[in-house]
Structure 1
Amino acid sequence: MQKKINEALREIQRGVSEIIGMDYIKSLVERFYANGTRFVVKAGFDPTAPDLHLGHSVLLHKMAVLQKYGANIKFLIGDFTGMIGDPSGKSETRKSLSKEEVLKNAETYKTQVFKILNPAYTEICFNSQWLNKLGTEGMIKLSAKFSVARMLERDDFAKRFKENLPISIVEFMYPLLQGYDSVALECDVECGGNDQKFNLLVGRSMQRSYGLNKEQSILMMPLLEGLDGVNKMSKSLKNYIGITDNPDEMYGKIMSISDNLMWRYYELISTVSLKDLEAIKQKVDEGLNPKNIKENLAFEIVSRYHDESKAKKAKENFKLIFSQNTIPDDLNEINVESNSWICKVLVDNKISQSSSEARRSIKAGALKINGEKMLNENFKLSSGIYVLQIGKRKFLKVKVK
C-alpha cells in the first residue's frame, strides 16, 4: 500500500513548479487509499478564447493524474470573472468580454476537456452560480477581507503603481472573486500556473476568513514552452499546437520541436509513467535515435485528441513527406499567412522565377505538395505544414499560420 502511495505522490509532483501544503495532499491521498474517500480539486479557466492549446492542457493533465489518486475535479469556467479578465502579468487594464462572448467560448471548453479528464469524476462549474448571488452586500463583505497593501504586494500591481499606470478597482476584485470560488466549492487543492501564485494564495486566505475547517493546498504548474522552445505557448505568438488542430498539422508540429523540448512535453503532457520515461531516456543515452521517441509522443498526442487510426495515418503522411531519401533533411523553412496563393509562395521564395512560370510548372504536373501532385494553379494554402517540391532539387518547407 505504501509503495502505491509513494508512486502516486511522485506522479502528483511530476513537473510541478511549486506545491504549498504537500502534507495535506499526502493525507488526502492516504485517506483515498485507506477508505476510498475522494477530495475536491479545482482549476479555473477564464473563457477568453474559443479553444484550448497544449499549453492549457498542462493543468488538465495534472488534474487527470489527481483523479487517478482520489480527486473529484471541479473544472471551473469563470463566466463571471471572465468578464473582468485576469490581470496576472498584465501591464495594463484588460478589455472586458461581454456575457455573450464568454458563454460562447465556454461552450467549446466543455467539449474539449473530456479528451483528458474522466467525466465520472469531473464536474463543470460556472462561477456565476454563486458570484451573482453575492450582491452588493456580499461584495462589500468580500472586499473587507483583504487590504490594498496586500494587493500591492502583487508584482504586476506593484510595478504598475510605481510607474503610475492605471489599476482599476475591478482588477482588485479579480483575485478576491477567484478566492471566493475556493470557499464556494470547499476546495482541498487548487491547481494553477506558476504565474497565478498570488491569486491561489488568496484562496487559502479566503477559506480561513470564511471559517472553513480546511485550507486548500496549492499546486502550481510551469508554463509550457511553445514550438520556438523559448516563449510560453501562445496563440498571439503563433507558437502553439491547438487541441483542435487537424491530425497532420498536430503531428507535424510536434515533430518540429527540438529534442530537448521533447522531454519537457513528455514530462508535462504525456501519460507515459515516470518509471517508463526514465527507461526511455536511458535508451536514448545508449544510442537510440530521439526522433523515434518524438514519433511516439506525436502519436500519443494525436491519438488523444483524435483517435489511433487518424494518428497512424498522420504518422504515415509525415514519413511520406519527410523521411523519403529524395527530400533533404535541412529544408529551408518559411512562415506564410493562411490563404496564401501557391504561385506567390513559389515566386517569393525563388522556387519559380515568375507567376507565369509557376503556373506552367503546376499545369505540367511538376509541383508536389506533401508528396502528391498539385495541378490547381489557383490553390491556396490553409493552416498546416507543407513540403513543396518542383522537380528533383527544389524544395521548400512551409508553415501556414
Structure 2
Amino acid sequence: MLQEALREINRGSAEIIDNERIEKLLKAYFEEGKTYTVKAGFDPTAPDLHLGHTVLLQKLATFQKYGATVQFLIGDFTATIGDPTGKSATRKVLSQEDIKKNIASYTTQAFKILDESKTEIVYNNDWLEPLGALGMLELASTLTVARMLERDDFSKRYASNAPIAVSEFMYPLLQGYDSVYLKSDIEIGGTDQKFNLLMGRQLQKTYDIKKQQAVLMMPILEGLDGVQKMSKSLNNYVGVADEPNDMFGKILSISDDLMWRFYLLLSTKPLDEIAAIKNGVLDGSMHPKKVKEDLAIEITARYHSQELAHAAKAEFDKIHSKSQVPTEIDEYNCDGEIWIAQALVDCNIEPSTSQARRDIKQGAVKINQEKISDMQLQLACGEYILQVGKRKFAKLKVN
C-alpha cells in the first residue's frame, strides 16, 4: 500500500525535494494512523479556474486519499501584492471586493475535486496583517537583496531596467511565512513557483519550528494548442465552469500527443490502465478518437455529471459526425437587409467584421450548412442558420 501511494503521489510530478520526508509521513499514516498537512496557495486573482489549475487540486486530492489534511490557502493578503512569478511588470493591485468575489468562486469549483471534510480553508490575511511593521521588518531581514535577485524573473527585469516594486520582494517571504505559521509538512505548486516554495523550507528553519516542509512541484499544463501554458489570456484553456458541450468539444480538439499529457495529469485512471490504453492505441486495437472521447467524458462528468457528459458527446456527434445543427442555439432578430459580416458580429459568433471576412475567405462560414465565399453578401428577409467553424452557431431572422 505504501509503494502504491508513493507511486500515485509521484505521478506526473516534475520535481520533489525531500522525498524521504514524504515517505516517512505516509509510513506513519499507514502504520499509526497519523495525519499530516499539505499546503497549496491560491491567489484569487481571477474568478474562474481552468484545467491547468486543477493539476494541483488533483494532486491534493491524491494526498487526501492517503491521510493528508489539505491546507487550502487563500492568499487574500498576498493577492493585494500579486505574485511576481513570470511577470515582466508589476501586477495591478486587486480591490477587496474583487478578492472576495473570486474567493467564493474558487472554493465552489475546488470542492468538485477536493474532499471538503479533509480540507481546511485558511486565509493568510489572518496572520499576515497582525504581523505588523515590526514583524514585517523582521521577516524582511531574513533575506538579502542579492539572494532575491537570483530569481530569474527579477534578474531579467533588473537587467532590462524594468521597475520592480519593493513590495514584490516581500511576496516570496510572505508565502514562506505562511508555511511557518501553518507548520506545513508538505507544500505543492507549479515548477514556476520553485523559489517561493523553497522559501517556506528556509523560513521554517530560520524560525525554528522543528520541521522543514517537503516540496512537490507539478509541471505547467499546456493549453489546447499544445505549445503554450493553459491560460485564459491566450484563449487556449478549458474552464472548470465551461458548459458541458464546450468542455467536451474543447478536450476532443486536442492533439493525440497532448491527449497523453492530459491523461497523466488530469485523469484519475490508474497508471497501469493508462499504459494499457496507450499500448492499445500503438498496436491498433484501440482508436485514438475513442480514447480521447473517453477522456473528454471523464473530465466533463467530473465537473458536471455522467448524464450531461454523455449528452455532450451525443450533441458533438450530431453536429460533427452527422453534420446537423445543435439542438439549442441562440436566436437573433434584425430589421431590414444586413451585411453577412455584420450579422455574424451581431449574433456574437464573430468578434469583428474583419475577422468575419477572414473566416469567410478561409471557408469557415456557412449559411444553412452551405459554405459561402461572398464577403459582400447581403442577407434579405428570411431565417438563416449561421455557422463559424465547427462549434459556433446562431439563428438569425431578418424581418
The 5-angstrom pairing of residues 1-400 of structure 1 reads: 4-287=1-284, 288-324=286-322, 339-340=348-349, 345=356, 349=360, 351-352=371-372, 353=374, 358-359=379-380, 363=383, 376-377=396-397
Letter in 1 for 2:348: N
Q: How many residues align?
A: 366
* TM-score, normalised with respect to structure 1: 0.86
Q: 1:139 to 1:347 in 2, by over 3 A?
A: closer
Instruction: Name the SS for the 1:220 alignment partner.
Output: strand
Instruction: Name the SS for the 1:377 alignment partner.
Output: strand
After TM superposition, give the deviation of residue 366 of structure 1 in Å: 6.9
CA distance, structure 1, for counterparts of residue 394 and residue 158 of structure 2: 58
Instruction: Name the SS for the 1:65 alignment partner.
Output: helix
RMSD over aligned Cα, in angstroms?
2.6
Could you give the per-residue CA deviations for residues 359-399 of structure 1, whole angstroms, max 9, x where no partner exists? 56x62x676797999653369xxxxxxxxxxxxxxxxxxxx
CA distance, structure 2, for counterparts of residue 372 and residue 98 of structure 1: 35
CA distance, structure 1, for counterparts of residue 71 and residue 266 of structure 2: 20
Letter in 1 for 2:114: L
**Cα contact 1:40–1:71 (8 A) shared by 2:** yes
**Cα contact 1:341–1:378 (8 A) shared by 2:** no
CA distance, structure 2, for counterparts of residue 378 and residue 210 of structure 1: 71
Which residue number in structure 2 is paired with residue 389 of structure 1?
A: none
After TM superposition, give the deviation of residue 139 of structure 1 in Å: 0.6
After TM superposition, give the deviation of residue 341 of structure 1 in Å: 6.4
CA distance, structure 2, for counterparts of residue 373 and residue 198 of structure 1: 46
Instruction: Name the SS for the 2:189 alignment partner.
Output: strand
Could you give the per-residue CA deviations for residues 122-165 of structure 1, whole angstroms, max 9, x where no partner exists? 11111101111101111111111111121111111112222222
Could you give the per-residue CA deviations for residues 302-358 of structure 1, whole angstroms, max 9, x where no partner exists? 10111111101001001111123899xxxxxxxx98823699758951533367654
**Cα contact 1:342–1:377 (8 A) shared by 2:** no
Instruction: Name the SS for the 1:115 alignment partner.
Output: coil
Tell me which stretches of 4 or more aligned residues in structure 1 moved more than 3 Å.
340-348, 354-360, 365-375
Q: 1:185 to 1:346 in 2, by over 3 A?
A: same
CA distance, structure 1, for counterparts of residue 155 and residue 242 of structure 2: 39
Compare 137-146 and 198-207 and name the one that shifted more. Answer: 137-146
CA distance, structure 2, for counterparts of residue 142 and residue 292 of structure 1: 54
Calculate percent identity across the aligned residue pairs: 52
**Cα contact 1:42–1:187 (8 A) shared by 2:** yes
CA distance, structure 1, for counterparts of residue 99 and residue 196 of structure 2: 21
CA distance, structure 2, for counterparts of residue 80 and residue 366 of structure 1: 49
**Cα contact 2:379–2:398 (8 A) shared by 1:** no
**Cα contact 2:74–2:123 (8 A) shared by 1:** yes
Could you give the per-residue CA deviations for residues 27-63 of structure 1, whole angstroms, max 9, x where no partner exists? 1111111121111000001111111100111100111
Instruction: Name the SS for the 1:159 alignment partner.
Output: helix
Letter in 1 for 2:138: K
**Cα contact 1:343–1:355 (8 A) shared by 2:** no
CA distance, structure 2, for counterparts of residue 100 and residue 277 of structure 1: 43
**Cα contact 2:190–2:217 (8 A) shared by 1:** yes
CA distance, structure 2, for counterparts of residue 154 and residue 343 of structure 1: 41
Letter in 2 for 1:296: D
Compare 49-58 and 150-159 and name the one that shifted more. Answer: 150-159
Q: 1:359 to 1:52 in 2, by over 3 A?
A: farther
Could you give the per-residue CA deviations for residues 186-213 of structure 1, whole angstroms, max 9, x where no partner exists? 1000000000000001000110011111
CA distance, structure 1, for counterparts of residue 323 and residue 54 of structure 2: 36
* TM-score, normalised with respect to structure 2: 0.86
Q: Gaps spanning 5+ residues in structure 1: where? A: 328-335, 380-401
Q: 1:222 to 1:315 in 2, by over 3 A?
A: same
Which residue number in structure 1 is paired with residue 336 of structure 2?
A: none
**Cα contact 2:176–2:199 (8 A) shared by 1:** yes
After TM superposition, give the deviation of residue 102 of structure 1 in Å: 1.3
After TM superposition, give the deviation of residue 94 of structure 1 in Å: 1.4
Which residue number in structure 2 is paired with residue 332 of structure 1?
A: none
Compare 317-326 and 243-252 and name the one that shifted more. Answer: 317-326
